[in-house]
């Protein structure tokens, strides 16, 4: 029951606020945040004052990433999505090996579980570097460096001789692996206009969710086979290595200020005119401004790991399935993510019509409609899974369907929160997504430490009831952002704000 219409007054308020903060024009228009240095009377920020400032050669300049061929854009997004899938897969593929590792190194399961916790903590630490770095040195550098880094540490984990080495290497594998999660938001803004960006974000976000959902049953088959637990890390390293090579060969620099800086450097060498230069923005995003927007997705991400913890308890503990077979019902949430992709594709024409009626100016709050629907579904799916999966008398297909509902709901919320941040911060999206990834990864890292105790102590039905109540309490958050988001963006000094210059008819001006 996706909301198809809401208060016209709210839409009008949101539209009005956006028109005040974004300059209209072609679909390739992106906001800039000009700065004027009072110490430089001939500042390059003053229009017409610096003839040596390098810019694109008009709106159709092929060097502008938004003018790149569609096949190039699709290839880059496909590589980023598969890289992210490999990274998030590695976060969960370790889980089935926890018992084996605990027995092998004579440690408690809590210590062995730190292999998941520290990997996700690496997810939290990495974006602090990768997001801002991508807005200073460009997108390509952090993507390529981090892709090779995570591959190295996956293989290092696979050959570790003690538990300490395993845990340290897992942390750094997560630290490097999180780069595409932090940088991708900026790449989407670089490559796509407002009407097409939603498709790219949908594909990428579903890979973020499908990875950890597929991982447990894949890891379960590997751990119980002749390969052993180390091959869960070898597989992660192989996938990461393939992704690293693809990033190196086919992911080009897409950040416009860096492209212009490279162009300026080439012109300086050719002309020996050292006054030629490009202006690179150095605006940073204060993480405090983003807390209000990211705290919801942080809770949701933490609930995702708790939600997935329920599956071995239900299908291995209650229904007596083996680790590999018992992981197959986790394809239910994966199916829910696929349904989310279908829903978003079907909803895209509605979003495009809204853009057209609003002079192609995106209103971030439009994204919250699907998030409202998803928040309710996620809470309902948790109750369904808990109260149908704690007794063997109930057929296993019933809790599996509950997982489909929960997976559909949580992926909708996460996807539209991701879109909301990109629409709100545009050229600063990489830093915004980095702050978001930092907070939600902290919640995701903490969850595995107490998840087993919670399910063992409370029982499956009551533990999932508690999570369902948590999700229900958070369900109104998208509604709040839908109605109050415009005001929040208005008071934020980091959301793009440019004065509108009304378009007037030349004949009228002459009169």
**Three-state secondary structure call for residue 25:** coil
**Confidence at residue 28, expressed as pLDDT on a 0 to 100 scale:** 41
Using CA atoms, how far residue 129 sits from 178, 183, 202, 318, 499, in Å, is: 10, 10, 25, 43, 32
- Which residues have CB under 8 Å from 431's CB, separation 6+? 131, 132, 135, 284, 285, 425
- 424: tokens are 């709100």
**Confidence at residue 39, expressed as pLDDT on a 0 to 100 scale:** 31
Say if 504 falls within a structural domain.
Answer: no
Question: Which residues pair with residue 277 across a beta bridge?
Answer: 53
- 77: tokens are 């997004």
* pTM beyond cutoff 0.85: no
Question: Which residues pair with residue 183 across a beta bridge?
Answer: none
If the chain, 511 residues long, is cut into consecutive pieces of 10 residues, what is the mean pLDDT of each piece? 44 47 38 34 40 76 89 93 91 88 89 87 80 82 93 95 93 91 84 84 84 85 90 94 94 86 81 66 41 56 69 86 79 88 87 84 84 90 90 90 90 83 66 62 66 82 88 86 77 49 36 32
Say if 506 falls within a structural domain.
Answer: no
Instruction: Assess contact for 193 and 28: CB atoms under 8 A.
Output: yes
Say if 152 falls within a structural domain.
Answer: yes
- The upper half-sphere exposure of residue 129, i.e. CA atoms within 13 Å in the direction of its Cβ, equals 15
Instruction: Assess contact for 58 and 282: CB atoms under 8 A.
Output: no
- Which residues have CB under 8 Å from 194's CB, separation 6+? 27, 355, 360, 361, 362
Using CA atoms, how far residue 128 sits from 184, 288, 380, 441, 442, in Å, is: 14, 13, 34, 12, 13
CATH of the domain at 454: 1.20.1250.20
Q: Which domain holds residue 312?
A: 8-24+44-279+288-496
- 133: tokens are 């770095």
Instruction: Report the phi/psi class of residue 96: left, alpha or beta, with left for phi > 0 and alpha for psi in -120 to 50.
Output: alpha
Say if 478 falls within a structural domain.
Answer: yes
Say if 464 falls within a structural domain.
Answer: yes
Say if 508 falls within a structural domain.
Answer: no
**Confidence at residue 243, expressed as pLDDT on a 0 to 100 scale:** 93
Say if 88 falls within a structural domain.
Answer: yes
Say if 227 falls within a structural domain.
Answer: yes
**DSSP letters for 402-448:** HHHHHHHHHHHHHHHHHHHHHHHHGGGHHHHHHHHHHHHHHHHHHHH
Q: How many domains does the chain fold into?
A: 1
Please tell me the distance from the alpha carbon of residue 206 to that of residue 336, in angstroms, as a whole number.
10
């Amino acid at each position: 029951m996706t909301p198809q219409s809401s208060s016209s007054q709210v839409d009008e308020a949101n539209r009005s606020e956006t028109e005040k903060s974004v300059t209209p024009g072609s679909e390739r228009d992106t906001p800039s945040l000009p700065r004027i240095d009072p110490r430089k009377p001939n500042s390059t920020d003053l229009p017409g004052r610096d003839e040596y400032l390098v810019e694109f050669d008009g709106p159709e300049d092929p060097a502008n990433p938004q003018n790149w061929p569609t096949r190039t854009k699709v290839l880059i997004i496909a590589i980023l999505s598969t890289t992210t899938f490999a990274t998030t897969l590695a976060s969960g593929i370790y889980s089935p090996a926890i018992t084996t590792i605990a027995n092998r190194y004579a440690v408690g399961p809590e210590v062995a579980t730190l292999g998941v916790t520290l990997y996700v903590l690496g997810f939290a630490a990495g974006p602090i570097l990768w997001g801002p770095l991508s807005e200073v040195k460009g997108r390509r550098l952090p993507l390529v460096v981090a892709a090779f880094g995570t591959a190295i540490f996956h293989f290092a984990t696979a050959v570790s001789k003690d538990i300490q080495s395993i845990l340290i290497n897992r942390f750094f594998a997560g630290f490097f692996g999180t780069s595409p999660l932090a940088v991708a938001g900026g790449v989407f803004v670089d490559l796509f206009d407002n009407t097409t960006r939603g498709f790219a974000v949908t594909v990428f976000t579903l890979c973020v969710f499908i990875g950890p959902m597929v991982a447990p049953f894949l890891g379960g088959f590997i751990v119980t086979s002749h390969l052993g637990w180390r091959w869960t890390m070898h597989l992660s390293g192989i996938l990461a290595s393939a992704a690293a090579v693809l990033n190196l060969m086919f992911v080009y620099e897409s950040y416009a200020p860096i492209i212009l800086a490279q162009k300026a450097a080439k012109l300086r060498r050719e002309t020996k005119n050292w006054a030629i230069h490009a202006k690179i923005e150095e605006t940073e995003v204060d993480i405090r401004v983003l807390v209000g927007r990211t705290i919801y997705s942080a809770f949701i991400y933490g609930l995702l790991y708790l939600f997935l913890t329920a599956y071995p308890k239900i299908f291995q503990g209650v229904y007596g399935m083996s680790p590999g077979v018992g992981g197959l019902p986790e394809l239910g949430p994966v199916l829910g993510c696929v349904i989310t992709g279908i829903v978003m594709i079907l909803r895209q024409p509605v979003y495009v019509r809204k853009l057209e009626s609003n002079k192609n100016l995106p209103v971030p709050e439009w994204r919250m409609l699907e998030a409202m629907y998803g928040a309710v579904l996620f809470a309902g799916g948790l109750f369904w899974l808990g109260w149908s999966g704690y007794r063997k008398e109930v057929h296993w297909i019933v809790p599996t369907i509950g997982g489909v509902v929960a997976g559909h709901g949580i992926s909708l919320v996460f996807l539209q929160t991701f879109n909301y941040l990109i629409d709100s911060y545009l050229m600063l999206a990489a830093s915004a997504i980095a702050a978001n990834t930092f907070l939600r990864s902290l919640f995701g890292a903490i969850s595995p430490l107490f998840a087993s105790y919670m399910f063992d102590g409370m029982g499956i039905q009551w533990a999932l009831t508690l999570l369902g109540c948590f999700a229900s309490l958070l369900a109104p958050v998208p509604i709040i952002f839908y109605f109050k988001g415009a005001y929040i963006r208005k008071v934020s000094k980091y959301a793009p704000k440019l004065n509108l210059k009304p378009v007037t008819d030349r004949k009228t001006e002459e009169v």
